[in-house]
Amino acid sequence: MDLSQTTAKDLLIDLNAGRMSAVELMRATLDRVAAINGSVNAIVALRDPDELMAEARALDEGPKRGPLHGLPIAVKDLVNVEGIVSSQGSPIFKGFVPEKDDLIAARMRAAGAILIGKTNTPEFGLGSHTFNPVYGATSNPYDPERTCGGSSGGAAVALATGMLSLADGSDMMGSLRNPAAWNNVYGFRPSWGRVPSEPAGDGFLHQLSTLGPMARCPEDLGLLLDVISGPDPRHPHRVTGEDVSPVGAVDPKGMRIGWLDDWGGAYPFEQGIRDMCQDALSVLTQLGAEVELLAPPIEAERIWDSWATLRSWSVAAGLADLTEHRAALKDTAQWELDRGLNMTAMQVHRASVARSAWFRRAVGVFGDCDALVLPSAQVWPFEIEVPYPTEIAGKRMDTYHRWMEVMVPVSLIGLPCLSVPVGFGEEGLPMGMQIFGPRGSDARILSLGAAYHAATGWPQKRPARP
């Protein structure tokens, strides 16, 4: 069984038909983790193998529990999972073992998934480079000297190497889209509110981050999305939506796709990235879609200023209870905390006014286009020892996260967005592009991604080494 080439859908079909047992799949998964994980450090806090085998055996002997019955999944280490160390990559929480599951973990467990451990993440998920003082860095499987991205870096690497067939991620500023691009897999950021967050703390104000699925094909994304979606009565922003599974390929003929490229020159890119995305767009053209280069719908700096304010406000709100541990936080967390704590209410209000203006403008753009496209990253995976890029193509970055600015138009207004692989660059490193639509178009975007996947199949390919 080649777990790196087998979809979650096919594994679940075999489990349900009795052609494979949960014990057999767990044994193959643990063997794969033992063979691969030491070189990439993607899965952390792995549970005792005997306990996992016993849980798989119990599933085989009992009734079917749900759509993920018997499927091993490691949960991103920003999520609390009962009985599994959940550190958030921070020494403050090193060794912390929750007594109950967060909502997303509870939903996966109820669907029959076997939660085997955690996937590595940056400390508190800050920065698109997966390293932390608890578990260390996660390597890119296409070049162990490069970053895998983040913050869902461990999840993306576990998928790319066949240790998992499905993974959960979270995405504020590209945290599942960026690592999907850099590991040749798919990552889907759903419409904001479709997947409820843990019902704790404030439930009204912060609308930037969301949970979402990652996989090696869009159809598998749909399987996990349906499991983790659905309203929770404890959330005031209750979003309903029909199930997206089974995800089938839409016929792109006649669809209008808007290519935003570098946002009129506002976003710098390293060489080759834009060209690769344009080549990927030609696949959609060959399938019958009409691709058109669009002028920037709104000023990039206006979006960025709104984002930088609202993000710091949101991050500081999440870290506020840790102010007494400020010295133990990494420098970027301290920066976000200090900025957020010093903001006035009117600064936040003005940022939200700018966000609202972009949302209204985007509605108009989607009146003419079925989907919009941007690259999924502005740089190639960088050296693993580098905390974050400080310049792109000679342009200095003024913050630790400015190099991910291409993610902000989607994140700021909560649009559904699929990061799809576009192949490999000259050094054999993967890249991706974002396909996104208006809120509520999750099924449509996934179906377009399925058509693209059927024509390309990038996660099942490997680069020709330079």
> Are the C-beta atoms of 119 and 76 separated by less than 8 Å?
yes
Burial of 349 (0-12, 13-18, 19+ CB in 10 A): exposed
- How many angstroms separate the CA atoms of 358 and 362, rounded? 6
> Are the C-beta atoms of 310 and 208 separated by less than 8 Å?
yes
Q: 220-247 as b/e, with b when 16 or more CB fall inside 10 Å?
A: bbbbbbbbbbeeeeebeeebebeebbeb
**From 4, 9, 76, 165, active-site residue:** 76
- Residues with Cβ within 8 Å of 218's Cβ and at least 6 positions away in sequence, in order, are 186, 188, 247, 418, 446, 447, 449, 450, 453
The DSSP call for residue 94 is T
Count helices and strands (H / E) in the chain. 13, 17
Retrieve residue 259's tokens: 């290519």
Burial of 463 (0-12, 13-18, 19+ CB in 10 A): middle
- How many angstroms separate the CA atoms of 225 and 215, rounded? 11
**From 86, 128, 152, 175, active-site residue:** 175
Bond before 151 cis per omega within 30 degrees: yes
Q: Is 193 left (phi over 0), alpha (psi -120 to 50) or beta?
A: left
- Residues with Cβ within 8 Å of 175's Cβ and at least 6 positions away in sequence, in order, are 125, 128, 150, 151, 152, 169
What residues are paired with 432 via a beta bridge?
421
Retrieve residue 50's tokens: 């005997």
Clarify whether 245 is annotated catalytic.
no
- How many angstroms separate the CA atoms of 81 and 104, rounded? 9
For 332-407, strand residue ranges (E) read: 371-375, 391-392, 395-396
Q: Round the CA-based radius of gyration of the chain to a whole number and report it.
A: 21
Clarify whether 152 is annotated catalytic.
no
Q: Shortest CA distance to 311 belongs to which of 363, 258, 351, 261?
A: 351
What residues are paired with 395 via a beta bridge?
392
Clarify whether 461 is annotated catalytic.
no
Q: Shortest CA distance to 153 belongs to which of 40, 314, 311, 319?
A: 40
**From 151, 170, 191, 411, active-site residue:** 151
- How many angstroms separate the CA atoms of 57 and 54, rounded? 5
Neighbours of 283 (CB within 10 A): 17
Annotated catalytic residues are: 76, 151, 175
